[in-house]
Amino acid sequence: MPHAAPNPDDSTADADADAAQRLAEAVRDAMWQHDSASQALGLCIQSIAPGRAVVQMVVRADMLNGHQTCHGGIIATLADSCFAFACNSRNALTVAAGFSIDLLAPARLGDLLTAVGTELHQAGRTGVYDVDVRNQRGQRIAAFRGRSHALHGRQVLAVPD
C-alpha cells in the first residue's frame, strides 16, 4: 500500500495547537493566582484548552442552604468560574456580559460536582459558552449559558511579539 508524503502543514498545525494549549495553561495559572473566590470554594481546575475548561468542587457543609442542599448561588459560582477559565483561555482579557443558569437537580453534601465549559461561538469581542454541571453519578445538576465580552486590546498575560 503506498504511503502518502508527509504534509508540512500538519506539523505547523500541530505546533500551533501546542502553542495554543501552552498559552491556555499559562493563562489558567495566572488567573488562578488571583482568584480568591474559586480558591475559597475549593475549586480544582481539572483541565484547560482553548475555549474549554473542566472544573470540580466537592459540596461542603458550609455550602448547604436551609433545605440541606447546595445553595444555588454556589453552583452558579462553580459554573461561572468554569466559564471564566474557558473564555479567557486564548489570552484575551474577557469578562462576563451576562449569564443564565437553570438548576435542574439538587446537589448534596459530599457530592463531587464537575463543570464542563465549552465555547459555542466566539467572534470579535463576544462569545457564548455553555457549562454543564453534573454530580459524580453523571446526573445533570445545572445548565449554564454565559455571554462573554473581551476588553479591547487587553490580555491576561503579556506575551512578547
Report pLDDT digits (tens) over 76-110. Answer: 999 999 999 999 999 988 999 999 999 999 999 99
Angle made by CA atoms 95, 96, 99, in degrees to the nearest 5: 170
User: How far apart are the C-alpha atoms of 29 and 69, rounded to whole Å?
Assistant: 31
User: How far apart are the C-alpha atoms of 129 and 142, rounded to whole Å?
Assistant: 14
The CATH architecture that domain 11-155 belongs to is Roll (3.10)
Q: What percent of the chain has pLDDT over 90?
A: 79
Looking only at the bridges linking them, the beta strands covering 140-155 and 126-134 are antiparallel
Domain boundaries, the chain: 11-155
Looking only at the bridges linking them, the beta strands covering 126-134 and 112-123 are antiparallel
Looking up cell 484548552 gives 49
User: How far apart are the C-alpha atoms of 56 and 160, rounded to whole Å?
Assistant: 32
User: How far apart are the C-alpha atoms of 51 and 83, rounded to whole Å?
Assistant: 9
Nearest partner of 85 among 55, 112, 123, 58, judged by Cα: 55
Looking only at the bridges linking them, the beta strands covering 44-49 and 52-58 are antiparallel
Instruction: Please state the pTM of the whole predicted model.
Output: 0.88
Q: Is residue 138 predicted with pLDDT exceeding 50?
A: yes
Residue 63: predicted pLDDT: 98
